[in-house]
């Protein structure tokens, strides 16, 4: 079924010139003090069109001056021509509810993730804020069919919200998993731009049993395989700490990345987790399945994910 757009109290979606970069992509040389006071353009896919929608609540708490565009996708099966009365009623209700919440649009489509990604690729938005729990349906089903596809494929950063609206607070403490990849660098730039006053902790996870390191390391020749691993991990730790220090400081912690991040969230040490979704090796789907997917699914605090920024022309 081709998407049918039904716009209610619609805000225009205008694609900027190709040479215009997102305000969430600061110069590569920017440091913690070199941040812009930007007003982000936010796309909020809303599932229930309710005032207490977690994504809407999170956006209003953290970006009260932002330009917000709501997107509600109606998935009606069987097709509308077989259930005309039901379809008309659902669309009328959706339009009325959206009018109350703010500017946006109602779209009829059988692929919600595709509609969201089309908007993300339009160049009209800097950030997506979306929930990961669909009321009345299995959370895992929604994640697998919509949110995970958006997080994995969106060209702009995505802020996912799993907690109920009444448990959300303003973001003042951020823990960022940094693997020194371009996607992690973009996540860091986004955090520093959106939350310039937040306390940001950079966390690099060193998995001693991993077969790969995030950057080349030099180890002495000879010795047993066990000795080689010990020397490699020592070089890995030292190299990671040097890179973190160059970024303003951070911690190298031994363990599995997702579990380390989730532990910080579960114990109340952070208000936001942030990470990239593509590793330096480029196996994006594998990394997403092993780290970002679990963090998005299980984190009790919002999660910011970002892919590497596209090359500027």
Domain edges within the chain: 37-165, 169-312
Closest CA to 110 of 82, 132, 78, 137: 78
Q: Match 């005032």 to its residue by tokens.
A: 51
Please tell me the predicted confidence (pLDDT) of residue 248: 94
pLDDT in tens, 17-39: 343 456 666 544 444 433 346 78
> Looking at the predicted structure, is the pLDDT value of residue 270 above 90?
yes
What is the CATH topology of the domain spanning 169-312?
Rossmann fold (3.40.50)
Residue 29 confidence (pLDDT)? 43
pLDDT bin (cut points 50, 70, 90) of residue 313 is low
How far apart CA 233 and CA 227 sit, in angstroms, is 10
Judged against a pLDDT cut of 50, whether residue 301 lies above it is answered with: yes
**Does the N-terminal peptide bond of residue 89 adopt cis geometry, omega within 30 degrees of 0?**
no
Quickly state the pLDDT bin for 8 (edges 50, 70, 90): very low
pLDDT at 18: 41
Domain 37-165 of CATH type 3.30.2310.20: no
Residues 191 and 24 sit within 8 Å (Cβ to Cβ): no
Share of the chain above pLDDT 70, in %: 75
In this prediction the pTM is: 0.82
Categorize the per-residue pLDDT at 284 as very low, low, confident or very high, splitting at 50, 70 and 90. very low
Give the distance from CA 38 to its chain's centroid. Answer: 18
Residue 154 has pLDDT above 60, yes or no: yes
**Residue 34: Cβ within 10 Å count:** 12
d(CA 16, CA 22): 9
Hey, do 37-165 and 169-312 end up sharing a CATH topology, with the first three levels equal?
Answer: yes
Average pLDDT over residues 64-92: 71
**Residues 110-140: tens digit of each pLDDT:** 888 999 999 999 999 999 999 986 544 444 4
């Amino acid at each position: 079924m081709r998407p049918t757009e039904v716009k209610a109290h619609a805000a225009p979606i205008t694609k900027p010139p190709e040479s215009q970069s997102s305000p969430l992509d600061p110069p590569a040389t920017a440091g913690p003090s070199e941040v812009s006071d930007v007003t982000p353009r936010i796309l909020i896919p809303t599932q229930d069109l309710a005032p207490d929608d977690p994504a809407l609540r999170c956006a209003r708490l953290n970006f009260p001056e932002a330009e917000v565009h709501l997107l509600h996708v109606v998935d009606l099966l069987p097709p509308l021509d077989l259930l005309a009365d039901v379809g008309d009623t659902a669309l009328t209700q959706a339009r009325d509810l959206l009018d109350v919440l703010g500017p946006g649009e109602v779209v009829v489509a059988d692929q919600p993730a595709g509609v969201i990604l089309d908007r993300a690729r339009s160049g009209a938005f800097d950030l997506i804020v979306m929930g990961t729990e669909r009321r009345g349906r299995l959370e895992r089903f929604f994640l697998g069919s919509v949110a995970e596809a958006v997080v994995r494929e969106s060209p702009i950063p995505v802020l996912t919200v799993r907690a109920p609206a009444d448990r959300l607070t303003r973001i003042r403490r951020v823990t960022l998993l940094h693997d020194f990849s371009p996607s992690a660098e973009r996540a860091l730039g986004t955090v520093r731009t959106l939350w310039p006053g937040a306390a940001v902790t950079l966390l690099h996870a060193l998995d001693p049993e991993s077969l790969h390191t995030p950057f080349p390391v030099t180890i002495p020749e000879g010795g047993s395989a066990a000795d080689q691993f010990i020397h490699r991990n020592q070089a890995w730790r030292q190299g990671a700490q040097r890179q973190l220090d160059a970024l303003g400081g951070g911690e190298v912690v031994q363990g599995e990345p997702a579990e380390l991040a989730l532990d910080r969230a579960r114990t109340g040490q952070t208000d936001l987790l942030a990470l990239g979704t593509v590793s330096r090796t480029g196996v994006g789907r594998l990394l997403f399945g092993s780290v970002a997917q679990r963090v998005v699914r299980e984190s009790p605090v919002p999660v910011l994910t970002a892919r590497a920024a596209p090359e500027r022309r």
